[in-house]
């Protein structure tokens, strides 16, 4: 019985602190609209030549759907300098606060950031951080 309680508490806290809601967001760029882009560098992972990370997009003005922020789990290819969205959570509050709506593209495609964009800077910093 004590082992089950201990296991339950351990799983609860490890899940809670592994969640992007408890991330340590570090600002990496800002676009011309004043929107800010953050990365949780502590949760970057590499696998099979790809890099995976959580990013937070925080908007100055709501999107057409009323969202003020997004948390996105992204796969990056540092060699080809491209990205693919694995899943995301949209929020009606800034900085990923409140309850969010989760989405996962069924068959995500690779995309490329425009030169000198906030996304390009984010990918550069993530790749640099892991040495790819």
pLDDT of residue 16: 38
Helix, coil or strand: residue 41: helix
CATH architecture of 24-130: Beta Barrel (2.40)
pLDDT in tens, the chain (132 residues): 444 444 344 333 333 334 445 579 999 999 999 999 999 999 999 999 999 999 999 999 999 999 999 999 999 999 999 999 999 999 999 999 999 999 999 999 999 999 999 999 999 999 999 997
Using an 8 Å Cβ cutoff, are 68 and 42 in contact? no
Specify the long-range contacts of residues 92-95, CB closer than 8 Å, at least 24 apart. Answer: 92/62, 92/66, 92/67, 92/68, 93/68, 93/69, 94/58, 94/59, 94/68, 94/69, 95/25, 95/56, 95/58, 95/69
How would you class 54 by CB atoms within 10 Å of its CB: exposed for 0-12, middle for 13-18, buried for 19 or more? buried
Using an 8 Å Cβ cutoff, are 122 and 28 in contact? yes
Using an 8 Å Cβ cutoff, are 61 and 49 in contact? no
12 token code pair: 């609860």
Helix, coil or strand: residue 36: strand
Q: Find how far residue 38's CA is from the centre of its chain.
A: 8
pLDDT of residue 132: 79
Q: Where are the domains of the chain?
A: 24-130
pLDDT of residue 110: 98
Residues 6+ away with beta carbon under 8 Å from 111: 82, 83, 84, 85
Prediction pTM value: 0.80
pLDDT of residue 22: 54
């Amino acid at each position: 019985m004590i082992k089950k309680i201990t296991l339950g508490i351990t799983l609860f806290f490890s899940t809670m602190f592994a969640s992007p809601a408890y991330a340590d967001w570090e600002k990496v760029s800002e676009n011309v609209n004043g929107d800010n882009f953050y990365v949780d560098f502590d949760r970057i992972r590499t696998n099979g030549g790809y890099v995976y990370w959580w990013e937070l997009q925080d908007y100055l003005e709501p999107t057409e759907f009323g969202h003020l922020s997004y948390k996105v789990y992204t796969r990056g290819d540092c060699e080809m300098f491209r990205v693919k969205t694995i899943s995301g959570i949209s929020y009606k509050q800034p900085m990923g606060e409140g309850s969010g709506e989760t989405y996962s593209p069924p068959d995500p495609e690779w995309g490329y950031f425009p030169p000198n964009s906030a996304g390009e800077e984010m990918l550069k910093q993530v790749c640099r951080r892991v040495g790819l």
